A = this chain, B = another copy of it.
């Protein structure tokens, strides 16, 4: 059966073809320094001729950290996370790393389990957007084995790991300030899922902006998605009515917009809205959405950069470092906040 062998040349085959020892061949493959130019050339041509590719499994077995990083996100359907994943891919590829992806997709219990898998599968490092605060224990185990971890977008307390966050506080503040400038008095902050500090920071930014304006903060953060709609409507119909909404993430924004559409409530005439987290279609919505844009791709790229740096540095020193990074947000003004369209044509 020629199948099994064809193309699966080993380093020994390469060495034989080039007429050198296996170690010499190995040195050429790994860029080792003690090889003469001619020898290296001969080996390289043998590699090309046999289309040799090193066997990752053997390398890993021998103790080399694999050129593979793990990436765990809550959900690939959310454009924010898929953009992060995109960024991770891009940066990983430039370093020749591959990506082992896991999206728990709502099944939060599977996260801890999968973290366990990651370690037996042998990843050199892990990027994670945590779905659950309980995941901190299995992550600690990973850390104890010397596998570096970077958290993206959210932070788990008590975990010795790097993190890349966005300026949640400042972003929220900017958004709310903008609503205040439009003269809104009752601005409701809506979201669900307060487990994570990224949401907490946004709420804090909201509260600060409200306090600075001398307004009363009203935060509506619910656990179950289903009741958001009903409770927002209540506030819109209270006296005096809420005239502006600040939604804490993508999912909430869309949910609220759907509710408003269903109830035939005009945006921004009846209620203004600014969402945290921008998305591609925001400009095509019935009321083009003003949003706090997060640099999702940059988040993934920066995180990957940090992680690969950790992987490359000595394991001993890496275990002491926990790099932190903060990325800026931008307020993208469209029309849902009540602004006129940008200067394209004014009459």
Query: Interface code A72-99, partner B: CB below 8 Å = 1, 0 otherwise?
Result: 0001110100110110011001000011
Which residues of the other chain, B, contact A145 by a CB distance below 8 angstroms? 3-4, 6-8
- CB pair B90–A56 under 8 Å, yes or no, is no
A90's contact among B86, B99, B100, B105, by CB below 8 Å, is which? B105
Instruction: Assess whether A35 is interfacial by the CB under 8 Å rule.
Output: no
Instruction: Assess whether A241 is interfacial by the CB under 8 Å rule.
Output: no
- CB pair A144–B3 under 8 Å, yes or no, is yes
Given the complex of chains A and B, what is the CA–CA distance between A114 and B83 in angstroms? 20
Known interface pairs A82-B77, A101-B100. Does A53 touch B89 (Cβ–Cβ under 8 Å)?
A: no
Query: Interface code A252-296, partner B: CB below 8 Å = 1, 0 otherwise?
Result: 001001100100000000000000000111011110000000000
Chain B's nearest CB lies how many Å from the CB of A165?
22
A interface with B by C-beta (< 8 Å)? 3-4, 6-8, 53-58, 60-61, 66, 68, 71, 75-77, 79, 82-83, 85-86, 89-90, 93, 98-103, 105, 107, 110, 114, 116-117, 119-122, 141, 144-146, 254, 257-258, 261, 279-281, 283-286
Chain B's nearest CB lies how many Å from the CB of A146?
6
Of the A-B pairs whose beta carbons lie under 8 Å apart in the complex, a sample of 29, sorted by A's number, is A3-B145, A4-B145, A4-B146, A6-B144, A7-B144, A53-B120, A56-B57, A56-B121, A57-B57, A57-B58, A57-B66, A61-B61, A76-B76, A76-B86, A77-B82, A79-B82, A86-B103, A86-B105, A89-B105, A98-B100, A98-B114, A98-B117, A100-B101, A254-B284, A279-B281, A281-B281, A281-B284, A281-B285, A284-B285
- Residue from A60, A61, A121, A284 whose CB has the most chain B CB atoms within 10 Å: A284
Which residues of the other chain, B, contact A114 by a CB distance below 8 angstroms? 98
The closest CB in chain B to the CB of A5 belongs to B145
Chain B's nearest CB lies how many Å from the CB of A15?
18
Known interface pairs A100-B98, A285-B284. Does A120 touch B55 (Cβ–Cβ under 8 Å)?
A: yes
Which residues of the other chain, B, contact A99 by a CB distance below 8 angstroms? 100-102
Which residues of the other chain, B, contact A61 by a CB distance below 8 angstroms? 55, 57-58, 61
Which residues of the other chain, B, contact A4 by a CB distance below 8 angstroms? 145-146
A58-B61, A99-B101 known; 13 other A-B pairs, CB under 8 Å? A7-B144, A76-B89, A77-B280, A79-B79, A89-B101, A89-B103, A98-B100, A98-B121, A100-B100, A254-B284, A258-B284, A261-B284, A285-B285
